Chain A
Amino acid sequence: MSVMHHPPAELLAGFATGTLDAGEHLAIAVHVSGCPACRRLVRAVEGVGGSTLEAADPVPMKAGAFESVMAKLDRPPSRAPAPAAHDADDGLPAILRRYRIGRRRWVAPGVSMRPIELPGSSRSRAFLLRSDPGTHMLEHTHTGAELTCVLRGSFSHEGGRFGPGDFDFGDDTLDHQPTVGDGEPCLCLVAMTGDLRINGFFGRLIGPFVRL
């Protein structure tokens, strides 16, 4: 799989430092897990993190901190083991298989979504969006940002063609009408901040149903 479209560098840096919102974090994690070039960029920022740590002003630990840690060394970790990944339905990336994913819901003809339960509070929402081949998505703009990872199939808009592994970053400056590629359904992970606004009469008509 050859990745043509990558996330903005600031989002990759935010991922490397663990400061992204849960939805953004998930979208970047999915992209990075399958993109060697972005993984290297994340490693580079982690490298800067390491040298920053080395240079950080040491702040004395509380009295007894070392003894308290020493006392725990031989105890087994108290945290519960990671939940088992659910079945490889839809051939989802490993990271997604650890998230709880809700029931499929139809949002428009040929288009369905499954909400993803995000850990922690989040300004964003995340869902899997599945569209039939050849679907014309409604022309829309965003009040926030939209992060899309293509998992299967493809879509195109003015920004180019997006296939498996590609990442599409849309913000409120964008006014686009994606078309799903022919041949196979398109499955995407979408993380969104703000709301989707659908332009045009038809959009306003069905708007209440596609509030994702």
Chain B
Amino acid sequence: MSRGFQTIRMLSRTPRSPAAFRPGWRPCNERPRLTVEWATLIGRVADGDREAFQRLFEHFAPRVKGLMLKTGASSDDAEEIAQETLLAVWRKAAQFDPVSAGAAAWIYTIARNLRIDAARRAVRKGSVDHDAELEYLVDPAEPADDVMARNEEAGRVARALSSLSEEQSMAIRLSFIEDRPHPEIAGALGIPLGTVKSRIRLAMNRLRALLDETK
């Protein structure tokens, strides 16, 4: 599996400055084979394949835990969300739509929803009357998409992401996904504090402009 990953890295179009990033970093604009393989495993999980589930668990559970810890969850909460996320992967595998989302992005959204639910539960003493998952759905009043429409949407999103520079995706990642304060981002990227804000804004404006256009 790692060999496939290496090949993709070598084939990638934009030159990299590896020193700026940790070894695990891969820009979101690539759609490597690895992702396809995870999607295949999720498909097998939908058919009840426990061995495929174990591989997903071993790969993703520690990463969900790592990301949760990084974004401020306690060790116990991070562990619980990671376990629940993988349990949800098992239960929802049949709903995974490889056309509209990558496997990692799908798992990311499951973890995000469970974290919202956990925060609400903490306040409501156990009763969750709003499953966060339901709040990310398209309004049923909207016209239903067919496979082609979903494919096209996913393609647009992927193209927009691939048009971001590495610095821009890094800015979005650090600022929003990892929720790090701007001074820390300035330190991590080695840029002045004043540049952090403008870089984030530029990245988001670029995405917006590419995704706004009506068909």
Contact = CB atoms under 8 A, between A and B. Distances in A.
A53 B28 CA distance: 10
Interface of A, helix, strand, loop or mixed by DSSP: helix
Most buried by A among B27, B34, B120, B176: B176
Contact of A50 (B102, B153, B156): B102
Interface string B95-124: 000001111111111011101100110111
A93 B141 CA distance: 8
Interface in A53-94: 53-62, 65-66, 68-70, 72-73, 77, 79-80, 82-83, 93-94
Contacts of A37: 208, 211-212, 214
B26 A54 contact: yes
A14 B62 contact: no
B31 to A, nearest CB: 10
Contacts of A44: 157, 160-161, 207, 211
A51 interface: yes
Interface stretch (A15-23, A171-179, A186-194): A15-23
Contacts of A70: 50
Contacts of A69: 57, 61, 83, 86-87, 90
Interface in B153-170: 153-154, 156-158, 160-161, 169
A137 interface: no
A68 B80 CA distance: 11
A94 B132 CA distance: 13
Interface in B116-161: 116, 119-120, 122-124, 128-132, 134-142, 153-154, 156-158, 160-161
B25 A45 contact: no
Nearest to A58: B62
A34 B139 contact: yes
A49 B109 contact: yes
B8 interface: no
A40 B211 contact: yes
Given A13-B172, A44-B207, A93-B139, A57 B24 contact: yes
Interface stretch (B10-18, B66-74, B181-189): B66-74
B177 interface: yes
A46 interface: yes
A95 B135 contact: yes
A52 B173 contact: yes
6 contacts: A40-B153, A52-B173, A56-B64, A73-B87, A98-B134, A119-B129
Given A9-B207, A48-B176, A57-B66, 13 more contacts: A10-B176, A10-B200, A13-B175, A34-B139, A41-B207, A47-B158, A57-B24, A57-B63, A73-B53, A73-B87, A82-B130, A93-B139, A120-B120
Interface of B: 22, 24-28, 34, 50, 53-54, 57-58, 60-67, 69-70, 78-79, 82-83, 86-87, 90-91, 100-109, 111-113, 115-116, 119-120, 122-124, 128-132, 134-142, 153-154, 156-158, 160-161, 169, 172-173, 175-179, 200-201, 204-205, 207-208, 211-212, 214
